[in-house]
Every structure is written in structure tokens, then in C-alpha cells.
Amino acid sequence: MSECMRQINPDVVPAFPITPSTQVIEDFSQFVADGKVDTEIITVESEHSAMSACIGAAAAGGRVMTATSSAGMALMWEMLYVASSMRQPIVMTLINRAMSAPINIHADHSDSMGARDAGWIQLYAENNQEAYDNLIMAIKIAENMDVRLPVMVCMDGFIISHCVQTMQLEDTEKIRLFVGEFASTYPVLDTENPASWGALDLQDYYMEHKRAQHMAMKNAKNVIKKVSGEFADIFGRKYELFESYQLEDAERVIIAINSVCGEIKEVIDERREKGDRVGLLKIRSFRPFPYEEIAAALEGVKIVTVLDRSESMGAYGPLFTEIRTALFNAPQKPMVYNRIFGLGGRELFMSDIHDIFEENKTYLETNRVEKMFDYLKVRGG
């Protein structure tokens, strides 16, 4: 991610280190020290300050990037809302890590899912290549004049962030041409045209501003598609709002986010060889959420297992609630149920994925979902 940030060459990077995102900023600081970028790096005393500095620098008229994880983003909480509500196109790498307590440094999505309502666009990645590609596209999506919203580029801590994988790095000049020059709106530093930022906004206009944010998020859906199309034309890798893997004639489908999808694909390949009609729907854009598109993609599917790598205590998993909402008005609703897995980095192996496909096969044959909500690989279950 730091290499990608070097290629993008942002104006300002305010940051505070936290495992497992530390190395992003560590390596990027080296690029700054070596004069390989023109970036002003601001080392601050907390993540709250990091995001505050991001907002200030963006409002001043700069292209701004940062990176964080888990508790680090939690400390940004107030400022996450300020960034999106002030419509600052900040791009942040979020290396997904479990929230404490008990203290844990490993991957789950409790950090980003907790921030799903903060008004940030959220893109997710299965592997290093997708994370790299998403970061490049995020700049263009965030800065689009119909959007002007911050983007969170999410990937699993350690599993992806510390994994050595083969991937295609693109030419720096091509990337800079693709993202283009930063265009600021009403920059604070433009003293010829003074503008007021962060004004008080009560019963009179607050609600209109919130609705405007909502509209920007709706616009983002088309902008993500458009930017992904342009990216595919130049770099050859095509991305949609979600990935459909062997979905066309699938009867039984798993829906999931991030690194676990790689394993699911391997399992699907194995089962397809034996004629088992199974598939995967992998979420890329969680905010905005593509309800209609997902419902259309699941047409003809008979049963759906939604895997959530985070919890909403006392409710279903956050992905599950979206999927069931997407399916509620579908003419032919598949059976759908929820499984929580991988909290705090607990591994899921290919054999576990096979078990899921065996379970939903039984559910389909008996036409009954025995357990709507359950955990995978947990003691005392």
C-alpha cells in the first residue's frame, strides 16, 4: 500500500501508527525521507489528531491519504463523521483488525463495520492486488465532483497486510495520469476567495446537508462502476460492485467479504469438478451497498449462506442484514441464513468451507434452515 501511495504522490499524509497498519506509514515515511515523493508527512499524537489533520489539509486544498486499523480508527470516530460531512475526499487504507477487548491484533471486520454509518465509501479486497487496485481507484472515486466523499480501502490484517503474494505493479506515470491532478473545492488557503468551513447548522439546514450526503453516496455507485471501467481499459483488471464467481447456474451460494473469498473459490473449483453447482458472491463495495444488483445476481439461487466476520451483538451480522434486505422484494426469494466466523483472526480452512456447502446442501434438501444464526468453529456452541 505504501508503494501505491508513493506512486500516487499525495500532498499530505497525517498518520499515527497502529498494528497491523504500521508498516504502510513506516515504508511511506522512508519514501518521504528519501525524497521519492513530494508529500508532507505529519506525525501526530493520536489518531483523532491524524484524522483532524487530514480534514484540515484536505480543506486547505490538498490530496490527502492516511492508514490505520481497529482501535486507531475508533479513536478517529468523531472525525470520521466530520470528514464525510465536510465532503473531504480523503483516502484511507484500513487494515481490518478486531476491536478490543480482549486485546487482539488479528483480522476481523468489527472496525470497518462499526464505521459503516460514518458516511465513508467502503471498498474491500480479497488479496494484495485488489487492495492495490482499489487504492488507485479510490482516489478517483473520492474526488469525483458528483461524489466528494472519503473512501476507506479495507483489507484483512496480517492475512493480506503481511502476506507476500505475487501481484502486478503498474507504471507510476500511468497511475498518475489515471488519478489526474487534485481539484480542490473552496480551498481554505485561497485567500482571494474566502470560504467558511464547518459552520453551525441547526434545524434549518442540517437535514438537507445529510440528504445531500446520501445522494452523493448513491451517485458513488455509478462512479465506482465508471472508474472501474476506466481502470479496466487501462490496466486490464475488471472490477464490479461485487464479484460473481461461478454464480450463473449456482444453486447454493456463499456471500462473504475479503480474504476468505480466495479459499471459497478454491473449494468451489474442487466441487464444480464433481458437478456441484456452488458459487460465491464477493462484496467489493459495502458502502454504497448494491441492493438491486445483488438481488438480480442471485436470481435462480436456492440457498444463500452469508458469512460475517464481525458481529452486531443482539442482531444478525451486518452483511446478513443487508443481503436479506436486498432479497426481501425479490420475486423468488432463496433461503438465507447467517454464520459468524473468523473473529479475532480465527482461521477458517478449506475443509470448513466444504462443511458449509454440505450444510446448505442438507438445508436445501430438507427445505428447512435449522439454524438461522450460528458461529463457525467456536467452543461451547
Least CB distance to another protein at residue 270 (A):
8
Are the C-beta atoms of residues 100 and 108 closer than 8 Å to each other?
no
Note whether 263 binds another protein by CB under 8 A: yes
Q: Which is nearer to another protein, 126 or 359 (CB)?
A: 126
Which of 190, 233, 266, 299 touches another protein (CB under 8 A)?
A: 266
DSSP 8-state code for residue 171: P
Which of 41, 82, 105, 364 touches another protein (CB under 8 A)?
A: 105
Footprint of another protein on 159-178 (CB under 8 A): 159-160, 162-166
In SS3 terms, 59-110 reads as: HHCCCEEEEECHHHHHHCHHHHHHHHHCCCCCEEEEEECCCCCCCCCCCCCH
Which of 177, 230, 349, 372 touches another protein (CB under 8 A)?
A: 349
Least CB distance to another protein at residue 273 (A):
11
Which of 146, 208, 347, 370 touches another protein (CB under 8 A)?
A: 347
DSSP 8-state code for residue 117: T
Note whether 230 binds another protein by CB under 8 A: no
Which residue in 136, 139, 146, 142 sits closest to 121, CA to CA? Answer: 142
Least CB distance to another protein at residue 240 (A):
18
Note whether 262 binds another protein by CB under 8 A: yes
Note whether 158 binds another protein by CB under 8 A: yes
d(CA 169, CA 363): 44
In the structure grid, which three cell numbers stand for residue 43, read together? 506525525
Q: Which is nearer to another protein, 350 or 378 (CB)?
A: 350
Task: Give pairs for 263-269: CB < 8 Å, separation 24+.
Answer: 263/348, 263/349, 263/350, 263/353, 264/353, 266/350, 267/350, 267/353, 267/354, 267/357
In the structure grid, which three cell numbers stand for residue 211, read together? 440528504
Residues that bind another protein (CB under 8 A): 105-106, 127, 158-160, 162-166, 259, 262-263, 265-266, 347-350
